[in-house]
Each structure stands twice: as structure tokens, then as C-alpha cells.
Amino acid sequence: MLTEGQSKYIATLSDDQKMIVKPFNPKGLEVADQIIAEIHGVEPDLEIMLLGSLPLRISGQEDIDLSVWCIKSEQPKYLGSFVKLFGELTKKGENTIRWDFHRDGFSVGLWLTDPTILTSQTPS
């Protein structure tokens, strides 16, 4: 239940700033597993991590967030395989390459990410 102030604040946001939280959908795990299998089919040595609400099996945006760990200097070696699987990249950052696409009703964010950068590391 939202307070009156929260409702008023949400009403000021544009539609592209709002997110819809949906109940956990186990089909997302199946779709994520398919994507992971596709990647491992062409690049079996890459470590892949499923992130966000999906692996926690909790409510979320009904999206799939995948990080594929690969040091920056090795990323160009894998670029061709990922383009064949997922199409043209969405964004290339200093240490990351990103793809955004839809699969079976789910929005997918996939990052080829350098695990040695500080933002990729988990706290000790």
C-alpha cells in the first residue's frame, strides 16, 4: 500500500521511468538456462552468473540479467560469437560489452564483463 505522498510522487514520473514489479515467474529460469546453454555451446570455458531477482526467486521486473566473466583484453576474442548469438551489441564500455534483447517474453540484459574491475567484485 502506498502512502498519499508516494502516490503523488509516482504520478510525477514519466512512463519510461516507472517499473512494474511482477511475481516470480519460474519460466525465466528456463529461458536463462537456455541462453546460458547457447553461450556454453560456443564458448564452454566462460563463467556466467545469473543476477537480479530471478535467481533469488523473488518478485522483480520479469527480466533476465546475465554477466559473462571475461577479462577486458580477451573480450574481442568472444565478440563474434556473441554477435552471432544475440545480434549487434547495445553498448560498449571501458570494461564491459552489453546486449539487450527479448526472449520468450523476457527482457534480457547480458554483459560481457571484466571480473577484475572493482564494480564486479563482491565485498569480502
Q: What are phi and psi of 6, to 5 degrees?
A: -65, -45
Residue 19: the pLDDT is 76
CATH number of the domain residue 37 falls in: 3.30.460.10
pTM of the model: 0.81
> Are residues 81 and 36 in contact, defined by beta-carbon separation less than 8 angstroms?
no
Convert the pLDDT of each residue in 10-69 to its tens digit.
677 677 666 788 899 999 999 999 999 999 999 999 999 999 999 999 988 889 999 999
Q: Average pLDDT over the chain, rounded to whole?
A: 88
Is residue 92 assigned to a domain? yes
Is residue 7 assigned to a domain? no
Q: How many domains is the chain partitioned into structurally? A: 1
Domain of 54 in residue numbering reads as 23-120
Q: What is the 3-state secondary structure (H, E, C) of 41-93?
A: HHCCCCEEEEECCCCCCCCECCEEEEEEECCHHHHHHHHHHHHHHHCCCCEEC
> Are residues 22 and 61 in contact, defined by beta-carbon separation less than 8 angstroms?
yes
Taking the CB of residue 53, how many other CB atoms lie within 10 A of it?
17
Across the range 92-117, mean pLDDT stands at: 94
Is residue 109 assigned to a domain? yes
